[in-house]
A and B are shown apart, each in its own frame.
Chain A
Amino acid sequence: NAGVTQTPKFRILKIGQSMTLQCAQDMNHNYMYWYRQDPGMGLKLIYYSVGAGITDKGEVPNGYNVSRSTTEDFPLRLELAAPSQTSVYFCASTIGETQYFGPGTRLLVL
């Protein structure tokens, strides 16, 4: 049981490039989330999913897209990367009330 995993750990993107941040969990959790954490700041919800095939926007969805084709995977897509998307991205999953976070992906857009 690996919990919540994320890849890559770190990535540098040029402005305008695209990439997909991967998130997977092996705990059969229905609820999954993507947060971003800017330096020295709190957690902002980007997108979330309540189950396979169902996704919804959080408070900061602009510039991102998600999909949830399986219970295990919840990738986050960045199209046309901008410097404002420089951040640490955390994926999380929940069963019941407890939310578990992945180790994070540090993204630098230059």
Chain B
Amino acid sequence: EVRLVESGGDLVQPGGSLRLSCAASGFTFSSYDMNWVRQAPGKGLEWLSYINSRGSTIYYADSVRGRFIISRDNAEHSLSLQMDSLRVEDTAFYYCARDLYGDHTLDYWGQGALVIVSS
């Protein structure tokens, strides 16, 4: 069974940092590209970042480029999102999602990690 489990969500002050992790199991993690997507409370989905299976190709949404860093550890079956210079508007549920074909068809999602940015 494919499982993606996010962790690391927390309450953080504006300007602070947080690192989210996504533990993958039930599939060959090193064979799949991965993505982060977020959803502000009561709002729609926003794609944030993509990393290919080897970690050699990375993309970011304009809203987080320069502040967030995506990375992966294939040996540990883990995806991460380092978030710096956090803003109030970064408050959201953060989901990791598996990329089925490498074309952003997201076939499995984690349950989400809640990040609250507030003073």
Genuine A/B complex: no
Residues of A within 8 A of B (CB): none
